[in-house]
Structure 1
């Protein structure tokens, strides 16, 4: 058995996986990794990326650059031009990121779920009753980015970004094992609530949720990095028009984006739990 396969077997043991990724000083480790990943010393960079490959299915063949200044530079890599074209159908809302499809479906009044049998409320997630009302009985989908995936995320539709709310919190792992064990996990972790409005006036909201080793969300349109060290206002009014597929920002490791839409949007046929989806591929359809 290879070292990589042994690691895979061990991390599939739920108790051990949860212990290794959650029962540790999460905030301190996240700060350390944030600092360490930016070291631009070639030996540290190369050993770090080699270790990352050992623990994951990291594939850099799509990366725009073949050499990286640091581990952070590799985390936040761009792709070769044209690799994630958004579906051109104007009725289609596309995936904002490369991801594994998680829980999705109809919001029951204001209740949704992180996995089957583990509900949480829109108010706990979003923190604003007015935005809750905009998505009451709507649709939701959870998109989980693994550590080895492309970490940048994009506009899922032509829209106008009206406001961002940064909500500070914890840095629990967001893998399925933790979702089964930690109640209302997405409502406990740091997150950004990105409010957008479609040309039709309907609300479409993205909620990037940070996790252990992440806890940093870069938003280009605000020219800001949101994390535990953020100070000052946590509400950022803005008025930015974006086109479907435009890059909005990145995570610094891997995490989750929750997409919220009105109730008449329909999931596309490729949206199946545990399926892999790429940024730009169909996610939901707005009926004519």
Structure 2
């Protein structure tokens, strides 16, 4: 049993205090530095403490030894560890995750959790985004600290634009989501707009969180984070195959996937479901 499970009975108040009432930006910068230290004692202690607080399983990792905690956190998996559903009517999950709020966008409102909505315009200040996904579909995918942290193209697509949005580094765990209104609209995030061969627009919104708060985008050779000072909006035309790696998170976080209203959530996708890269997420009728 992990230390995290032993501490569960202490209650949500202490959990929220420990993860959200510390100096978030300072803690994020410090852990970001510490995670990349390659000194063996620091590396082993960091990974050991991480194991105490999570259900970390490295059995699927491509390599057995890591140069740092960061190297372990952003690990690749063995070939074939995440089979990709090749059904052309299926849009697959871009990441390993626990499903949060999901379903139909209610006009321009999306649920963070039950009873706490936020507006599309608050998440992404772009009139086209609001027009495209008004009454559309969405699913919130939460990556826990022990999960595989790379994310992949949900379908054959062309990445047309990436927008970097600066913000805070709140924890995105369920406790914080129930207490902090419009949390996803406050945090560091990227907006990745992709177009399918059918012409439909699918948008991924990776949301960073406390402790590191960086998002690596391989297809642009770019790392977004608190120190990023480049262009806010980056037009591009990058072709990706279904299941091809797009990048990674440098800490557990969230990806919100938006699809037009003609898409349907795959049967069985509901809050609390665990899903893996390549498994069915949406179906195009």
1:24 match: 22
1:14 match: 12
Equivalences for residues 264-275 of structure 1 within 5 A: 264-275=262-273
Check conservation: 1:135, 1:203, Cα contact below 8 A.
Answer: no
Identify which of 124, 134, 146 aligns with 1:126. Answer: 124
How big is the shift at 1:6?
2.8
3-state SS of paired residue (1:181): coil
2:78 match: 80
3-state SS of paired residue (2:111): strand
Check conservation: 1:197, 1:203, Cα contact below 8 A.
Answer: yes
Q: Which runs of 5+ in 2 are unaligned?
A: none
Identify which of 37, 40, 52 aligns with 1:39. Answer: 37
Equivalences for residues 110-121 of structure 1 within 5 A: 110-121=108-119
How far apart in 1 are the matches of 2:4 and 2:202? Answer: 40
Check conservation: 2:2, 2:55, Cα contact below 8 A.
Answer: no
CA separation of 1:62 and 1:196: change in aligned 2, threshold 3 A: same
> Over residues 96-151 of structure 1, what are the superposed CA-to-partner deviations in whole Å (9 max), with x where a residue is unaligned?
00000000010011111100110001111111111211111100000000000000
How far apart in 2 are the matches of 1:7 and 1:202? Answer: 45
Equivalences for residues 152-171 of structure 1 within 5 A: 152-171=150-169
Identify which of 238, 244, 248 aligns with 1:246. Answer: 244
3-state SS of paired residue (2:258): strand
Check conservation: 1:62, 1:80, Cα contact below 8 A.
Answer: yes
How big is the shift at 1:275?
1.1
Check conservation: 1:76, 1:150, Cα contact below 8 A.
Answer: yes
Identify which of 225, 229, 232 aligns with 1:231. Answer: 229
1:205 match: 203
Check conservation: 2:219, 2:238, Cα contact below 8 A.
Answer: yes
How big is the shift at 1:17?
0.5
Check conservation: 2:3, 2:53, Cα contact below 8 A.
Answer: no
How far apart in 2 are the matches of 1:36 and 1:208? Answer: 23
Does residue 183 in structure 1 map to residue 184 in structure 2? no
How far apart in 1 are the matches of 2:262 and 2:2? Answer: 49
How far apart in 1 are the matches of 2:254 and 2:179? Answer: 17
Equivalences for residues 28-67 of structure 1 within 5 A: 28-67=26-65
1:92 match: 90
State the aligned residue count.
285
Give the TM-score normalised by the residue count of structure 1: 0.97
How big is the shift at 1:5?
4.4
3-state SS of paired residue (1:186): coil
How far apart in 2 are the matches of 1:85 and 1:190? Answer: 30
CA separation of 1:266 and 1:80: change in aligned 2, threshold 3 A: same
Equivalences for residues 253-268 of structure 1 within 5 A: 253-268=251-266
How far apart in 2 are the matches of 1:261 and 1:2? Answer: 37
Check conservation: 2:2, 2:53, Cα contact below 8 A.
Answer: no
